[in-house]
Amino acid sequence: MTIRYLLAAIGVVVLAGTAAAQGTAPTSGKRVRRLLIHNATVVDGNGTPASGPKDIVVENNLIADVIPLDPVAMGRGGRGAAQADAVIDATGKYVLPGLINAHAHLQEERGGKPQPIEYELNIWLACGITTIRDVGSDTRRALELRRQSAEGEIAAPRIFVYPMFGRPRNAEEARARVRALKEMGADGIKILGIDRDTMAAMESEAHRLGLRIAHHAGVEETNAWDDINFGTTSIEHWYGIPDAAIEGGVQNFPSSYNYNNETDRFRYAGHLFREANPERLTKVLEGMVKANVAWDPTMDIYEASRDLQRAQTQPWFADYLHPVLEEYFKPNPANHGSYFIGWTSTDEMYWKENYRLWMAALRQFDRLGGLIGMGDDAGFIYQMYGFGLIRGMELHQEAGFHPIKIIQQATGNNAKILGQEERLGRVRAGFAADLIVVNGNPLENLKVLYPSGVDEIRNGKVVHTGGVEWTIKDGIPYHAPTLMARVKEIVAQARKK
């Protein structure tokens, strides 16, 4: 039991003495019939400002009621707090919809070495992630984990499975593959490195069967114009967007360039936005908006390219980086995304410029009315599960988005990308009870979302605070510090071996 857990319990003892809310703190991992989150400040997932205090009543796996407690609302006949089987005192805390990670990979190994799934699932929950879109892993295993999560058998976010499509040889094979994935129970499909004819066929078949499509558009035959023409749901990462805006259609690669050499690939990716023609880029972004192609930029996952030292020395590595993942992150041409041998200050300079142009394009896309989501693609390139999503939120702030909008991108917008906007991504009666209770105000400091917390000065004293305190997924409350204590234990044990 952690100190914070004890404090949570004490908080409830104090609360029990008030008339507003009676009850005991929930047990981590155990759903009660009626859970009350009392006296919360709410930031919803629809881009509206914070409001409160409010009581949120969760019944089984649904948000049953959101009750304003302010005197004006009470004067209008607002009701007082409800009775409940368990109470979370959210006084001074912020409640948000559970975060959605739109670009995740379920990983039980790295570089061929086993890594326990509990490690990744616990960190996701502790970072406030209640839903993931898995865009490529072992599909049968992902479907099994999806079921176990849905039935509450494992502590895990909700899982939407978008299997990797592979590279069918022709249109007929592409259609057959879509049908096979539908039959397996896939929620959508992830495409990567696909040619135009097979992409056209797979997209039309997927639309017919109601499967959504996430496209990792690399520097390939297809680019954002194909997503616009065929109706892709979301472009993952970013390459296909500036690539569609290059004069002459091909980037100015040196003659020695080899796309299969990851150092080449990532090095010259850092020159891509500067080679895009701004007017053409605007047309591409307008095309995406018109065709409802969303953009899930996964900004965290390229950050090592612009600042390798930062990426390699993230403070949470000390306690929470699994040795198998640590080994995988080391520069090694055999591992995807570990391309940093010989990475130069010049490479970083190009990538810093690339980020500036990328951020400007993202803001322009937003101004034009485009739908922006968020995913972390963690487990590669020094990004840890969950932490990467929060870092992504910080990068969206650097891009110029207001934190209210960033929370919307990570919740309501991602729900739209998943086609779940009537069920997920909001603090609203009738929606799934996927909520997080945050120790601190994420609108002031997104860093309060990191499980490692933040230090603040209060009355001249340094206070360690922050972190998600409770992640409620499908009505099941998980005590985040308890989950992270378990992660720490997993890591310590694995390091001993």
Q: Which residues bind Zn ion (CB under 5 A)?
A: 377
Which residues, in sequence order, are CB contacts of 488 under 8 Å at separation 6+?
319, 320
Closer residue to Zn ion (CB): 377 or 394: 377
CB atoms within 10 A of CB 497: 5
Closer residue to Zn ion (CB): 208 or 336: 336
CB of 110 to Zn ion, least distance (A): 14
Which residues, in sequence order, are CB contacts of 487 under 8 Å at separation 6+?
119, 122, 123, 126, 320
CB of 28 to Zn ion, least distance (A): 30
234, 296 Cβ separation under 8 angstroms:
yes
Q: How many CA atoms lie within 13 A of 411 on its CB side?
A: 30
Give the span between the Cα atoms of 294 and 19, in whole angstroms.
47
Measure Cα distances from 49 to 144, 402, 408 in Å.
Answer: 38, 11, 11
Closer residue to Zn ion (CB): 303 or 377: 377
CB of 105 to Zn ion, least distance (A): 6
Tokens of 28: 């981590």
Closer residue to Zn ion (CB): 220 or 377: 377
The conformation of residue 2, written as its DSSP 8-state character, comes to -
CB of 192 to Zn ion, least distance (A): 8
Which residues, in sequence order, are CB contacts of 339 under 8 Å at separation 6+?
262, 263, 265, 266, 331, 333
Closer residue to Zn ion (CB): 225 or 302: 302
Closer residue to Zn ion (CB): 226 or 377: 377
CB of 251 to Zn ion, least distance (A): 22
Closer residue to Zn ion (CB): 78 or 193: 193
CB of 131 to Zn ion, least distance (A): 16
CB of 104 to Zn ion, least distance (A): 8
Q: Left (φ > 0), alpha (ψ -120 to 50) or beta: where does 252 sit?
A: beta
30, 477 Cβ separation under 8 angstroms:
yes
215, 232 Cβ separation under 8 angstroms:
yes
